[in-house]
Amino acid sequence: MVLEGDVSAISAPGQFINIQLDGLYLRRPISVCDLTEDTVTIIYKLVGKGTEMMSEMKPGKALDVLTGLGNGYDLTLIPEDATVLLIGGGVGVPPMYLLAKKLLASGRKVTVVLGFNSECDVFFEEEFKALGVDIRVATADGTYGTKGFVTDVLPESYDYFCTCGPTPMLKAVYVATESDGQMSFEERMCSGFGACMGCTCKTITGYKRICKDGPVMRKGEILW
């Protein structure tokens, strides 16, 4: 879905927007996949009433959207000459796209690893290829790409990594990677800006709110 409007609050890949839907109390947080001066592209999976409503929307529909939420990936932490490994799993794939574009524009080299459950779940592979990056795909059931998980297709050489995906995948990546990196957490959110304290994770400096202090955090600060 492409939304047009004021996107000036979005300052970094990895941030998210929060969409108000008619008749539903809680907004729906969706990661930013791509961005222009006046549009934001999102990709969502149809899993419930909210996303079903979104799938039925027609062009011209006006939405109440909070933008620029959360902290995105900090490119200043990544060495300028680094080869950066981007790891996306399922609905954690979209934010990797804008991040890849930003890294390539800054002159860094990028390798992308995508993980899905099955071939029918694979998406955005061609869009990443169009950027000219090295890409590897794994599916849990082996129906496409390499059978296994993202940790089964990690390259031997890279300098830094960024990842987004479900918590079990993030834990596996944490263990499998030796370099420094940044990890984006998926979590159910109520406010999207830290009001309820419902989405938290444990870090070396205490519990942090995923929606406000994250969703992106440095590997070294996370405690599992």
Could you please report the per-residue DSSP string of 33-46?
-EE-SSEEE-----
Beta bridge partners of 89: 115
When pLDDT is cut at 50, 70 and 90, the band that residue 36 belongs to is very high
Q: What residue type is assigned to position 68 of the chain?
A: G
Please state the rounded mean pLDDT for residues 29-38: 96
The fold of the 2-69 domain, in CATH, is: Elongation Factor Tu (Ef-tu); domain 3 (2.40.30)
User: What's domain 75-184's architecture?
Assistant: 3-Layer(aba) Sandwich (3.40)
How much is the pLDDT for 198?
62
For the whole model, what pTM was predicted? Answer: 0.93
Please state the rounded mean pLDDT for residues 37-50: 94
Q: In this structure, what is the dihedral angle of CA atoms 16, 119, 128, 92, given to the nearest 10 degrees?
A: 20
Tokens matching residue 122? 């694979």
169-178, pLDDT tens digit by residue? 999 999 999 9
Tokens matching residue 126? 């061609």
Whether the pLDDT of residue 166 is over 90: the answer is yes
Edge-to-edge strand ranges of the sheet holding 16-20: 28-31, 16-20, 64-69
Q: Which long-range contacts (CB under 8 A, 24 or more apart) does 189-196 make?
A: 189/18, 189/29, 190/26, 192/16, 192/18, 192/27, 192/29, 192/66, 192/69, 192/70, 193/66, 193/69
How much is the pLDDT for 194?
58
When pLDDT is cut at 50, 70 and 90, the band that residue 3 belongs to is very high
How much is the pLDDT for 187?
66
Average the pLDDT over each of 55-59, 82-86, 194-198 and give the range with the smallest value: 194-198
**Are the C-beta atoms of residues 199 and 88 closer than 8 Å to each other?**
no
Nearest residue to 112 (alpha-carbon basis) of 72, 216, 92, 213:
92
Q: Give the whole-angstrom CA distance, residue 76 versus residue 66.
A: 26
Provide CATH 3.40.50.80 ranges for the chain: 75-184
Provide CATH 2.40.30.10 ranges for the chain: 2-69
Consecutive H or E run containing 176: helix 167-176
When pLDDT is cut at 50, 70 and 90, the band that residue 199 belongs to is confident
